[in-house]
Amino acid sequence: MEFRINTRSPFYAQYESLPAEVESTNRARFSEDLTSWNKVNASVTANQVTAPDGNLTADKLERNSTSASYAQTNASRSSTSIDNYSASIFVKRGNTRYVSVRVDASYSNRNDFQYDFETGVITRFVSSGSGSINSRAVENSFADGWVRLCFNVGVGNIG
């Protein structure tokens, strides 16, 4: 399984959970350090703005090409069958209108989401292959422009 964040221009991201959340298994590799993620036509600058938890740990993600640009990381899976996963990411607008997030397994089992910073809603959401979207939500009760995008998805079979 992999998580991927697509970018059109700079925005800020924070994957780390808030202290008040119930502990669960975090399967995403380097979830708080986007500099360790694989990057395609994009760059990440660590610890650029204050995160929702009040610490200077949010990373800046920006494109450096007009081609498709994104950062991605792999996550462990509990099996090779169809699994349901919950994922969330905190995002804060830089100078882009949209941010896209993908949660997938092997091609073409994927779930794509696009969040519109201007309208405050997930404007596009598409599943393909054996991917499925069980639920999606936007939480915008955080200080300083932060929003949390939440997803529960089925990611399909590996291979």
Mean residue pLDDT across the chain: 77
CA triplet 149, 20, 28: central angle to 5 degrees?
A: 50
CB atoms within 10 A of CB 4: 18
Q: What is the pTM of this model?
A: 0.80
Q: Would you state the pLDDT for residue 158?
A: 46
CA distance 14 to 52: 8
CA distance 79 to 100: 26
Q: Would you state the pLDDT for residue 4?
A: 59
Q: Would you state the pLDDT for residue 27?
A: 58
pLDDT tens digits along 136-154: 999 998 889 999 898 888 8
Q: Which residues of the chain have pLDDT under 50?
A: 1, 16-23, 158-159
> Both tokens of residue 86?
């919950």
Q: Would you state the pLDDT for residue 36?
A: 84
Q: Would you state the pLDDT for residue 18?
A: 46
